[in-house]
């Protein structure tokens, strides 16, 4: 009997749907046992994010990986699991607060130490910065990443901003007359089952050495160079903003609310006025220096 442990955090349920699809074949295999554990903050974050100010309020702590208190995650006989799948999402180019809080906890060290881990992302379109943080946090627990699968919104960057806000604030994920479905598409979630075969094969044969290469053949990780470069620039600026807010205001204070409001204006200005220009510049760089761009991209798809 092979045992898979799934640990995840979700507000909307999307990441669990994705993992269920990935493990569709494993669920029907009598020789595989799958156990699910949801990470739960003591005081969970709202979904939808109403009022919208609550969504901006998690910005500084997300970027700076400041922990929240979690309910105890008691995993029975964790030493018996042959594989751990970690389902996560991205907040402000960083791992969500519940995910980073878990990965820094004693429970994570007890559960992940010595275990092969597959990370599964459900995100808008920027995940590279968060993945760097997650890789380091998993390494610190003693776990080792043997696979990474990224599910993202494949619509144009400026369109996906509108649809994700519509979903997060108004809980409207479905397509409308003017906009496509928000988040990871239903078709992509259904087709996620294609990743199950290489995972099950590696699990059965107790050999994960070539798993990521097999997953990449199925387009488990796709990187748009211009979006990736824009993101890596953005995370540096986010750290500056987060530091200013944390240094100059207290939680729930009027000054913090004013600073976050200012940040929200800045964020939309950058997205709609600056990022198109940055995207054009990075697209040009890719055309001028294709080998360098390819090398940078391939580095990020590896473990």
State if pTM tops 0.85: yes
CB atoms within 10 A of CB 173: 17
Checking if the pLDDT of 239 tops 80, the result is: yes
250 φ/ψ sector (left φ>0, alpha ψ -120 to 50, else beta): beta
Give the integer Cα–Cα distance in Å for 283 and 249.
39
Q: What is the C-alpha separation between 125 and 142, in angstroms, rounded? A: 29
Q: What angle do CA 13, 19, 20 make, to 5 degrees?
A: 85
Considering the segment(s) 2-217 as one domain, its CATH architecture is 3-Layer(aba) Sandwich (3.40)
Q: How high is the pLDDT of residue 167?
A: 93
- Residue 143 has a pLDDT of 96
Q: Domain-by-domain residue ranges, the chain? A: 2-217, 225-301
In sequence order, which residues have a C-beta less than 8 Å from that of residue 250 and are 6 or more positions away? 256
- pLDDT tens figures, 40-66: 999 999 999 988 899 999 999 999 999
Average confidence (pLDDT) over 250-263? 96
Quick one: what percent of the chain has pLDDT higher than 90? 86
Which of the four pLDDT bands, split at 50, 70 and 90, describes residue 251?
very high
Asked whether the predicted pLDDT for residue 78 surpasses 70, the reply is no
Q: What does the pLDDT average to over 216-241?
A: 94
Per-chain mean pLDDT for the chain: 94
């Amino acid at each position: 009997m092979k045992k898979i442990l799934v640990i995840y955090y979700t507000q909307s349920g999307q990441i669990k749907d994705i993992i269920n699809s990935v493990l569709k074949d494993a669920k029907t295999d009598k020789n595989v046992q799958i156990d699910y554990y949801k990470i739960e903050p003591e005081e969970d974050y709202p979904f939808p994010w109403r009022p919208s100010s609550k969504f901006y309020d998690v910005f500084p702590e997300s970027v700076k990986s400041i922990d929240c208190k979690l309910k105890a995650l008691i995993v029975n006989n964790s030493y018996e699991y042959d594989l751990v799948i970690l389902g996560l999402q991205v907040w402000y180019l960083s791992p969500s607060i519940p995910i980073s809080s878990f990965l820094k906890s004693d429970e994570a060290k007890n559960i992940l130490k010595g275990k092969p881990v597959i990370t599964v992302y459900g995100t808008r379109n920027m995940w590279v910065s968060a993945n760097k943080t997650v890789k380091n946090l998993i390494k610190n627990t003693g776990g080792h990443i043997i696979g990474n699968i990224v599910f993202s919104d494949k619509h144009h960057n400026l369109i996906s901003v509108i649809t994700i806000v519509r979903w997060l604030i108004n809980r409207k994920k479905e397509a409308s007359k003017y906009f496509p479905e928000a988040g990871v598409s239903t078709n992509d979630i259904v087709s996620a089952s294609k990743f199950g075969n290489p995972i099950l094969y590696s699990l059965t044969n107790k050999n994960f050495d070539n798993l990521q290469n097999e997953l990449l053949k199925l387009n488990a990780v796709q990187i748009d160079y211009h979006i990736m470069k824009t993101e890596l620039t953005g995370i540096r600026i986010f750290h500056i903003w987060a530091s200013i807010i944390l240094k100059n205001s207290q939680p729930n204070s009027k000054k913090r609310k004013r600073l976050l409001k200012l940040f929200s204006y800045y964020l939309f200005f950058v997205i709609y006025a600056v990022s198109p220009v940055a995207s054009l510049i990075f697209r040009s760089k890719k055309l001028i220096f294709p080998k360098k761009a390819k090398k940078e991209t391939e580095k990020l798809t590896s473990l």
